[in-house]
Chains A and B, each alone.
Chain A
Amino acid sequence: MDEFIGAWTARHGATRDRLLPLLHAMQEEVGYIDDAWVPVIAKALNLSRADVHGVVTFYHDFRRVAPGRHVVKLCRAESCQARGGAGIEAAAAKLLGVAMGETRADGQVALEPVYCLGLCAIGPNALVDGRPVARIDAATLERIALEVAA
């Protein structure tokens, strides 16, 4: 990871405001921000470790452990609730065998909450490995479950 951080900062700069873009790039590369890399990031951007730790833990997007092989981000916000989101959330947890906010023990799938994808007239909505899915019903959930079993 040292090499990745070095190459990234050489290309994009090493000022403090580059911290979020760097964290996004690292997460894109390996899927999460390991605590062991925090000192390396801090050194590269001339920040304290506490500073970097604070930022990594503040933002919901940054993961500190490897995610599931598949990630289902299900919307929990009001507009999806108005269209039966709570029932879909319970059904998804049961069907995928993982509680909201958790990664299944076998590492195959993670079910994560997201608060609004901006598809509010056609909910309940989810991002399945980054692909938007709308008007989720029982049949859609079955398809998602099959997709993430692969």
Chain B
Amino acid sequence: MSRVFISRDMASVALGADDVARAFAQAGCEVVRTGARGLFSIEPLVEVETQAGRIGFGPVGPGDVAAVLDGTHAARLGEVEALPFFAGQQRFTFARCGVIDPLSLDDYAATGGWQGLDAARAQAAQQVVDTVKASGLRGRGGAGFPTGIKWQTVLDASAGDKYIVCNADEGDSGTFADRMLMEGDPYCLIEGMAIAAHAVGAGHGYIYIRSEYPFAIATMRAAIAASAHIVAPFTLEVREGAGAYVCGEETALLDSIEGKRGQVRAKPPLPALQGLFGRPTVINNVLSLAAVPFILAHGAEAYAAVGFGRSRGTMPVQLAGNVRHGGLYEVGFGITLGELVNAIGGGTASRRPVRAVQVGGPLGAYFPPSMFHLPFDYEAFAAAGGLIGHAGITVFDDSVDMAHMARFAMEFCAAESCGKCTPCRIGSTRGVEVMDRIIGARGTLKPVRPEPVEGRLFSSQEKGGASTGSARTGEGYLDRALYSRAPDRIDVSIEAQTALLRDLADTMKYGSLCALGGFTPYPVLSALDYFPEDFGAPAPLKEAAA
């Protein structure tokens, strides 16, 4: 009887893995359901256990059982780890994902599980915090704040109830690493949280998972129940989100757990001192907490040895959107954007030229291929006017209309704003209106770009029809664009509206309470700066084209 491994990850299931698993079970195979390996162009993937190791086949369908089992199937991949997509990775956090049965405690223990927790519990709390500090681990949710310093603040806070909260409200489009880890290696996250609890003296923890991730919720609940005796006296529970993107912001998330509207809190006080229920709280992203078991088991030096500048360790990068080989690629910081998109991702799935990539989700900047030399590093991206965020890279081909993407960023902010601060709540709605005017005015100019046919046509030839002028500085235009009480007197020219858009973005960036309103200008302004031709302005000089 053959033993085969088939993923139970939500993405694999969406591609038909359940039907494939059923077919193999009916053929008398022992089917082990694992997490996803992380390369979706080979899913549904079946790995057959042989004397020469696990041999992968993919993509396969339910009718391919016989050909896979006798080894003649055309989609034979050989050892999955040896594929180029996997050979170049440094899997610290995702070492087990796709390999083991996610809910098997035996598998977890046999692959080095609980070694980090055992090591931590043999040490004093301060020693554990020092190890995390020495590793250089920074918050993987996007802000990049040093995890060890956060833990130190909670450890030093007055005694009494403390909490560990895991932010698993992974709402950014183009990101799925949290989901994959929770579905593929849930005990790793539990171990990380138990280590954090030991380090700061917390007794209870929450994992706040968005409701769009039903598979992750079910897997985490089962894993918590199965491992309760191991992490005791620390206890854990899953809280399910309810479709509010803003709850990924840490203070809104805390309010949501408390049973309130997910509104952002003003800081200070920091959650580390007055967090959940007013108590000192460690709130970390899934990937931050899941990196901790490796650090404790292998030492801070082993983790810090990898990386770039002040960004130490590995980052699970997610290649998404219109990309040929999309998936999860865990690698040390410092790899360039171009290597990720072209060499590893293989360019676009549509085989058309890459025009833009958005890094860091809906609040991240759009970069053109001329920026592909950027190294993956918190500081390098910040200096370039963008952010790494949760390390999701969404690839767009040359059919994308960047003015529409800028409009979408504003529309999304308007839909998801918690409403607490004015720049975000009102600014986003005004932003949609301004973008509508720009898109409208663009249409009346000489054909800057042709009308899209079936949404998939773009010719880069017909550009440069717009008038020039001081659109970039907005000098003199802003006043005329601001006659909101006299709509007939508003200057709806591209120059005036672009000046207004920049002014609005400035207000949102510096006046918003949290990153939702504060970072929405990143996609909007980067689209405007790098792709002005889509906003009816002349194309930029090809500066430093790589």
Contact = CB atoms under 8 A, between A and B. Distances in A.
A111 B194 CA distance: 41
B15 A83 contact: no
A6 interface: no
Contacts of A116: 171-175, 212
Contacts of A60: 242-244
Interface string A118-145: 1111110101001011110000000000
Interface in A43-90: 45, 51, 54-55, 58-62, 77-84, 86-87
Contacts of B261: 54-55, 58-59
Given A55-B260, A120-B320, A87 B455 contact: yes
A117 B10 CA distance: 9
Given A82-B394, A83-B349, A118-B212, A55 B259 contact: yes
Contacts of A81: 405, 408
B235 interface: no
Contact of B175 (A15, A17, A118, A132): A118
Interface string B108-135: 0000000000000000000000000000
A119 B321 contact: no
Interface stretch (A19-27, A92-100, A102-110): A19-27
Interface string B162-198: 0000000011111110110000000000000000000
B245 A79 contact: no
Given A117-B212, A132-B13, A19 B171 contact: no
Contacts of A83: 321-322, 349
A19 B259 contact: yes
A115 interface: yes
B14 interface: yes
A117 B510 CA distance: 31
Interface string A15-42: 1111111011000000000000000000
B242 A62 contact: yes
B220 interface: no
Interface string B316-343: 0011111100110000000000000000
B14 A121 contact: no
B175 A59 contact: no
A118 B358 contact: no
Interface in B187-225: 211-214
B240 interface: yes
Given A60-B244, A78-B394, A82-B321, A135 B174 contact: no
A114 interface: yes
A21 B211 CA distance: 11
A15 B319 CA distance: 42
A18 B179 CA distance: 24
B11 interface: yes
Nearest to B319: A121
Given A86-B455, A119-B10, A20 B15 contact: no
Range class of the A interface residue count? 35 or more
Contacts of A122: 11, 14-15, 40, 43, 326
Contacts, number: 156
A82 B173 CA distance: 11
B242 A24 contact: yes
A59 B40 contact: no
A4 B176 CA distance: 36
A120 B361 CA distance: 11
A120 to B, nearest CB: 3
Interface in B82-115: none
Contact of A133 (B14, B179, B242): B14
Contacts of B239: 20-21
Contacts of A79: 173-174, 320-321, 392, 394
Given A83-B321, A132-B14, A78 B405 contact: yes
Interface string B138-182: 000000000000000000000000000000001111111011000
Nearest to B455: A87
A127 B10 CA distance: 11
Contact of A84 (B11, B174, B455): B455
Nearest to A116: B173
A59 B173 contact: no
A114 B412 CA distance: 11
Given A120-B394, A132-B10, A78 B176 contact: no
* Residue of A80, A118, A125 contacting most chain B CB atoms (<10 Å): A118
A62 B256 CA distance: 14
Contacts of A21: 239-240
A77 B173 contact: yes
B327 A121 contact: yes
Contact of B211 (A17, A61, A86, A134): A61
A24 B256 CA distance: 13
B268 to A, nearest CB: 23
* Residue of A81, A119, A120 contacting most chain B CB atoms (<10 Å): A120
B392 A120 contact: yes
B304 interface: no
Contacts of B322: 82-83
Contact of B214 (A84, A130, A135): A130
A42 to B, nearest CB: 12
Contacts of B23: none
Nearest to B395: A82
A51 B261 CA distance: 9
26 contacts: A19-B260, A20-B256, A23-B242, A55-B261, A59-B242, A60-B244, A61-B211, A77-B173, A78-B173, A78-B174, A79-B173, A83-B349, A87-B456, A115-B171, A115-B362, A116-B174, A117-B213, A118-B178, A118-B213, A120-B394, A121-B41, A121-B176, A122-B15, A130-B214, A134-B11, A135-B15
Question: Across chains A and B, which 6 residue pairs bring their CB atoms closest together, nearest first?
Answer: A121-B326, A77-B173, A120-B320, A59-B242, A82-B321, A60-B243
Given A55-B259, A78-B362, 19 more contacts: A15-B259, A16-B259, A18-B259, A20-B239, A24-B211, A59-B244, A62-B242, A82-B395, A83-B321, A83-B322, A87-B454, A117-B10, A120-B175, A121-B323, A122-B43, A123-B321, A127-B212, A134-B11, A134-B14
